[in-house]
Structure 1
Amino acid sequence: MRATVISEPGGPDVLAWEEVPDPRPAAGQVVIDVKASAVNRADLLQRQGFYPPPKGASDIPGLECSGMISEIGPGVEGFAVGDHVCALLAGGGYAERVAVPWQQVMPVPEGVPLDVAASLPEVACTVWSNVFMTARLRKGETLLVHGGASGIGTLAIQLAKAYGSHVLVTAGSDEKVRRCLDLGADEGVNYREEDFAEKFKNRADVILDIIGAKYLRKNVAALATGGRLVVIGMQGGTVGELDLGRLMGKRASVSAAGLRVRPVEEKGVICRGVVQNVWPLISAGAIKPVVYAEVPMSDAAQAHRMLESGEHIGKILLVR
């Protein structure tokens, strides 16, 4: 098969579309003939040499895909050859075929085109596991989403609104803030022009943060009493100062979590939660996947340049 390989750490030009061995399904795995994958910031970090795949995972980038099951290994439950599916991956999505544990495979939501379904696994599993499973966002509470125009942000806005929450966002331009409001956000801040910590002071019951250390102090300021800060990214650094006195005064908490390195069983629990709780909202039209562009899978370098430009809103897909 053909796949995108990383010849050496570096810029987008180190990505090459080459012949590689076909995957074979091990016990508990299926092989998916890939229709589309999606570009995530973790892929950029892997390309640069900063985020190697977990032990045993494919060196090929790509953390999600959609397509049709073509082979099934022993011990697989609930799937058959020919099923149209999407999947959460530890790697391997930028390829014509990928092997994946059946627990991380999900049916395509009703009404979603097969290529567009590739935009959903990573963002849906990230938002569901962090905002709802870990931070326990409840109806009537307020969620602050950083990077509201990102793939994760656009889904988090819609899912939180569908569950009856008030949604605050930050984004990097007035246009992106407007798009977030169009998706259902109640209030937004262009972080280049306004301090979100001042505007949203003591208001957020849950914060979904992709920035990390740079926003730690401001996030604590924005938390309401009993608030929960969930850090899922480190674009603003890994080491910051935490005012424990202020945190204790608010009876607030901070947690941090990744998705890629979790055990298969944990990912399976998350995927089943997504199918049960998120897919029906997508099929009903309450949540709409937001796709910025579709790029040929053989030109992953161009898709990486798009993501690095910061101009996108929603997901960038790689399609065959």
Structure 2
Amino acid sequence: MRAAVLTAFGGPEVLEVREVAEPRPGRGGVLVEVRAAAVNNTDLWTRQGAYGLPGHPDALAGWRGPVAFPRIQGGDMAGVVREVGEGVDAAWRGRRVLVDPALYDGPGDDARPIGLLGSEADGGFADAVVVAADRVHDMTDSPLDDEALAALPVAYGTATGMLERGGIGAGETVLVTGASGGVGLAAVQLAAARGARVVALTTPDKADAVRDAGAAATADRHLAGDELTAAVDEAVDGRLDAVVDVVGGAVLSTVLPLVGDGGRWVIAGAMAGPVVEFDLRRLYLHNVALVGSSMHTPAHFARLAADAVAGRIAPRIAARYALADIHAAQEEFARSTHVGKIVLLPGA
């Protein structure tokens, strides 16, 4: 089969599209024919080794440390179960499925992710992938096509985890940073679907697309200091219950004073800088919770899968590429001019 294989940390040249042996499902596993996959920041950062190590932030590493090369990339995928391993109900064969890409630290609905397909195990940038049978979700009744389903696992899974861990629900006012990116746009859509009033930080040229996803108001993410504080304060209209932050950096110290008593700041990214300085008094005097959120739990992903079956979400597809054109897909992704997901089609 064809696959996009990561051979080392480095530039685009270390990612090779080539023929590899098709995997076979063992006990408790299924072979999924990949109909669509999608590109994430995780794919680029893993290729670049950009995650660093504790005490060594510039060290080459995957998100959990070492990466065993060669590694087939890709955490986002949807497809059809083609084979089942020993102990798996044969009725799964032929079903359209969404794959939960997380590797967990144990059983149970609240297990924590400790790995990711495409990083700690082979992923979906291939014609087929073997996954655990308990990590596939039946999408037979979903109105979403394969491309839309493939857009969900990493971005929407991460966003769902943030909303769940932050206890974000109907009637609340929520600020979403990085709102035109994969996780940010997913958070806008999912929070709005829960009945929250969403204010989004984005660029003016992408504001219309973000509002189309469900944001009630937007503010220019290029603003800083007092200007950003004033813009957010006006947009939230005096009430800010929670922040869903995928950017990090100076926005924390700038916007934190606007978060109301009992508010939550949930963070799952640090694109604007991993090291920040803020006034601790704004945290403890107002009983604000600062919550770190990495991906999702099995329960979170099950809620996302239910949303997909019910058609409560509709991912935006920005571009489509054949698997053989993955370098061009990652190049477009890195330019950050798109809104929505960039999808790979292995069968194209």
The AA in structure 2 aligned to 1:3 is A
Contact 1:150 1:314 in 2 (8 A): yes
Cα distance in 2, alignment partners of residues 75 and 62 from structure 1: 26
Show the counterpart of 2:339.
Answer: 313
Q: Structure 1 residues 142 and 17 mapped into 2: Cα distance closer, same or farther (>3 Å)?
A: same
* Distance change in 2, residues 1:63/1:219 (3 Å): farther
Shift of residue 106 of structure 1?
1.8
- Deviation, structure 1 residue 110: 1.7
Match of 1:98 in 2: 129
Equivalence map 1:142-181=2 (5 Å): 142-171=173-202, 173-181=203-211
How far, CA to CA, are the matches of 1:252 and 1:269 in structure 2? 25
Work out whether 1:137 is the aligned partner of 2:173: no
The CA deviation at 1:193 is: 4.2
The reply to whether residue 110 of structure 1 matches residue 142 of structure 2 is yes
1:56, CA displacement in angstroms? Answer: 9.1
Following superposition, the deviation at residue 53 of structure 1 comes to: 6.3
Q: Structure 2 CA distance, aligned partners of 1:197 and 1:168?
A: 13
- Which residue of structure 1 lines up, in the alignment, with residue 275 of structure 2? 239
- % identity of equivalent residues: 31
Contact 2:176/2:199 (8 A) holds in 1: yes
Amino acid at match of 2:263: G
**Equivalence for 1:62:** 74
Cα offset, 1:79, TM superposition: 5.8
| Secondary structure in structure 2 of the residue aligned to 1:269 | helix
Report the AA paired with residue 285 of structure 2: G
For residue 208 of structure 1, what is the aligned residue in structure 2?
A: 244
Evaluate the alpha carbon distance shift between residue 53 and residue 212 of structure 1 in structure 2; reply closer, same or farther with a 3 A threshold. closer
Q: Name 1:88's counterpart in structure 2.
A: 100
Q: Which runs of 5 or more structure 1 residues have no equivalent in the other structure? A: none
How far apart, in 2, do the equivalents of 1:101 and 1:63 lie? 14
SS state of the match for residue 158, structure 1? helix
Normalising to structure 2: TM-score of the pair? 0.81
Alignment RMSD (CA, Å)? 2.3
Secondary structure of the 1:200 match is: helix
Q: Say if 1:151 and 1:290, in contact at 8 Å, map to a contact too.
A: no
Query: How far does residue 238 in structure 1 lie from its aligned partner after superposition?
Result: 2.0
Match of residue 220, structure 1, among 256, 261, 269? 256
2:329 alignment partner AA: A
> 2:97, 2:137 within 8 Å by CA — same for their partners in 1?
yes
Distance 1:199 1:104 in 2: 42
Contact kept, 8 Å, 1:53 with 1:59, in 2: the verdict is no
Indicate conservation of the 8 Å contact 2:243/2:266, yes or no.
Answer: yes
Question: Residues 170 and 196 of structure 1 are in contact (CA less than 8 Å); yes or no, is this contact kept in structure 2?
Answer: no
Contact 2:144 2:314 in 1 (8 A): no
Q: Give the residue type in structure 2 aligned to 1:64.
A: D
- Report the AA paired with residue 211 of structure 2: L
C-alpha offsets along residues 270-294 of structure 1, whole Å, 9 cap, x if unaligned? Answer: 2222223x2255x2xx532100001
User: Relative to 1, partners in 2 of residues 1:122 and 1:79: Cα closer, same or farther, differing over 3 Å?
Assistant: farther
1:36 equivalent in structure 2: 36
SS of match in other structure, 2:260: strand
Corresponding residue number in structure 2 for 1:272: 302
Report the CA distance shift for 1:144/1:95 in structure 2 as closer, same or farther (over 3 A): same
Aligned length: 308
Deviation for aligned residue 1:118: 0.6
Residue number in structure 2 paired with 1:122: 154
The answer to whether the 8 A contact 1:207-1:219 is kept is: no
Structure 2: tracts of 5 or more residues without a match: 52-61, 102-115
Task: Say if 1:102 and 1:215 are closer, same or farther in 2 by CA, change over 3 A.
Answer: farther
Distance change in 2, residues 1:86/1:280 (3 Å): closer
Q: Which residue of 2 aligns with 1:16?
A: 16
SS in structure 2 at match of 1:115: helix
Letter in 1 for 2:345: V
| Contact 2:7–2:71 (CA under 8 A) maintained in structure 1 | no
Secondary structure, counterpart of 2:262 in structure 1 = strand
CA distance in 2, matches of 1:236, 1:12: 23
96-105 or 48-57, which deviates more = 48-57
- How far does the alpha carbon of each residue in 1:218-261 deviate from its partner, in whole angstroms, 9 at most, with x for none? 241332221111111121222222322111122101111212xx
Take 1:279 and 1:110, find their aligned partners in 2: how far apart are those partners?
Answer: 6
Q: Matched residues in 1 for 2:255 and 2:6: separation?
A: 36
